[in-house]
Amino acid sequence: MEWVVIGILTIVWGAQIFRRPLLVLYAKRIFLTVVIALILFLVYSTRQQFNMWSADGMAQYLLPPFQAIDYFLLYVLFRVWMPYVLSAVAAMLFLWWVHRYNRRHESKVFYTDEPWIAASAILLMGWPGLVVYALVMVVLFTTVSLSIQAARGRDFRVSPYYFWIPAALFAILISELWLEHTPVWSLLVI
């Protein structure tokens, strides 16, 4: 799944850099496409889990008619769906907060397509990648903002517009290559 997410984020990042007017028009549709693709992937993963247990000599006793379907559904809910349910809740809360905050500040803080791009990245991160993503985003944005403000003066403001996707890509890479092998990661995994 991570390589598919990296591919999607890379395409969106390329559109953000090279085809920004196109992305402004289709950012909300891209978010909705990500939601639908993620749901389809989770349904497919659920079906694959069922098939895998059905084919296993011991695991088939965890499925009906030997066991109630509740066991399988709870297992799939927590092992397959929950990481993305948590990131979907975080993405929705982020969208709600950004629209409210932007309205309060007369749309001067975020670009019109920025909430949808950021929400797509948040949704694709899953849990515990979402925690890593939030930390990477805060560190990256704070470092760049302080560096540019020190160089240009206090009144210069930096937009996080071009940081959402690279931060997500970096968070996925460090999660996959390093953090996944640490004891802290196993504490965060559901």
CA-wise closest residue to 84 among 47, 48, 37: 37
Distance CA 165, CA 108 (A): 21
Q: Is 18 domain-assigned?
A: yes
Q: Is 140 domain-assigned?
A: yes
Residue 144: give the domain boundaries: 2-36+84-188
Q: Is 158 domain-assigned?
A: yes
Number of domains in the chain: 1
Q: Is 67 domain-assigned?
A: no
Q: Is 26 domain-assigned?
A: yes
Q: Is 73 domain-assigned?
A: no
The stretches in the chain having pLDDT less than 70 are 1
User: What pLDDT, on the 0 to 100 scale, is given for residue 148?
Assistant: 84
User: What pLDDT, on the 0 to 100 scale, is given for residue 4?
Assistant: 80
User: What's this model's pTM, rounded to 2 decimal places?
Assistant: 0.84
Whether the Cβ atoms of residue 111 and residue 98 lie closer than 8 Å to each other: no
Specify the residue for token string 């997410």: 5
User: What pLDDT, on the 0 to 100 scale, is given for residue 25?
Assistant: 79
User: What pLDDT, on the 0 to 100 scale, is given for residue 1?
Assistant: 67
User: What pLDDT, on the 0 to 100 scale, is given for residue 2?
Assistant: 74
SS3 154: coil
Q: Is 65 domain-assigned?
A: no
Q: Is 151 domain-assigned?
A: yes
Distance CA 168, CA 132 (A): 9
